[in-house]
Each structure stands twice: as structure tokens, then as C-alpha cells.
Amino acid sequence: MSDMTTIARPYAKAAFDFAVEKGELAQWAEMLTFTAEVATNDTIQDVLDSGYAAEKLTEIFISVCGEQLNEFGQNLIKVMAENGRLKALPDVCDEFLFLKNEHEKTIDAEVTSAVTLDDSQLAAISAKLEERLERKVKLNCSVDETLIAGVVIRAGDLVIDNSVRGKLNRLSDTLQS
């Protein structure tokens, strides 16, 4: 666990609890995703490293974010700037999205296939994963022709490698041992 994750967790939990109380989980997820992207920008990284006072950092950050932040989002930025924690925003976002997914019982699954999958194949994968994980599954699909054939599915800690490349690698390991 990184130091930033430890720093980010209380901010994420506070934002999550507030968002649940106000019924604004989706809006907060968007705000935090946006601020995390801003915080990883090279120019903003330079500003954060420059040693400006918290008030100036808050002003700069909020002006860059513009209308993407509501007043409560601006308050979060102000508090994080006062505590010198704006660099932790990407980790705050990650922790918040984790809490949101746990609350909504959803999980993102990365599906990498050798060829583009059709709707019926995606529906079958989604149905099997939902049954196995007991959660709603959101599929993020990509194509990697080096798999030769088959799919690799990653959902949280679960990895299912049903690709020809994976099978060849396992066969090679077995033969070498």
C-alpha cells in the first residue's frame, strides 16, 4: 500500500459518505475523475511542486477545473490544498470509485480478445461473470491479436486466461519443469 493511498483514503471516504447522503454519487465520481486528470497534468504537477501557498494553489486548481466542481467539490480542493494533499487526488478518485462500486455492487471487467466479440458473446461473458461474482459487471473490451485466439478477462483480483497464447505459455512451463 502506497503512502498516497493511506493519505487518500480518509478524503475518499468523506467524499463518498457526503455523496451518498446527498444522493450525488455519479456527480462526485465525475468531479473526482476530472480533478484526478487535472492533478496528473504536467503543468499542474509543476504548480503543485512550486511551493505556492495553499490559497494560491486552491485558486489555480479551481480556476482550471472551472464549472466541473460544485461548491462542495471546491471545498474538498481547498481542504486538500491546506493540508498539502492535492497530489493525492488520483488516489482519492481511485478509492472513491472503489467505494462507489462496492456500494452499487458493480465491478469493471477488462476483456481482451484476439478478435472483436459480437453482442451475443459479450452478453454470455457478462452473464457468467455476474453469476460468478454476484455483481453487476461492466465490460471494457479491447482487441489484442497476439492472443492468437480466445479471451483474457480481468475483474478485480480474478484473471481468466482462456487464450491460445496463455495455453501455450502454460504448456511451455509444464514441459520445462
Whether the per-residue pLDDT at 75 is higher than 80: the answer is yes
Q: What is the pLDDT of residue 131?
A: 92
Whether the per-residue pLDDT at 167 is higher than 80: the answer is yes
Q: What is the SS3 string spanning 5-27?
A: HHHHHHHHHHHHHHHHHHCCHHH
Say what percent of the chain tops pLDDT 70: 99
CA distance 82 to 142: 41
Q: What is the pLDDT of residue 2?
A: 57
Q: What is the pLDDT of residue 1?
A: 45
Cα distances (angstroms) measured from residue 120 to each of 13, 123, 165: 38, 5, 24
Whether the per-residue pLDDT at 26 is higher than 70: the answer is yes
Mean pLDDT computed over 65-86: 89
Higher pLDDT, 16 or 58: 16
Q: What is the pLDDT of residue 86?
A: 87
C-beta of residue 34 within 8 angstroms of C-beta of residue 65: yes
pTM above 0.85, yes or no: no
pLDDT digits (tens, 9 = 90+) for 32-54: 999 999 989 888 888 888 878 88
pLDDT digits (tens, 9 = 90+) for 106-157: 888 999 998 999 999 999 999 999 999 888 999 999 999 888 888 999 988 8
- Banded pLDDT at 11 (limits 50, 70, 90): very high
* Residues whose CB is less than 8 angstroms from the CB of residue 168 and which lie 6 or more positions away in sequence, other chains included: 148
**Domain at 3-102: CATH code:** 1.10.520.20
CA 31 to chain centre: 13
CA distance 126 to 137: 6
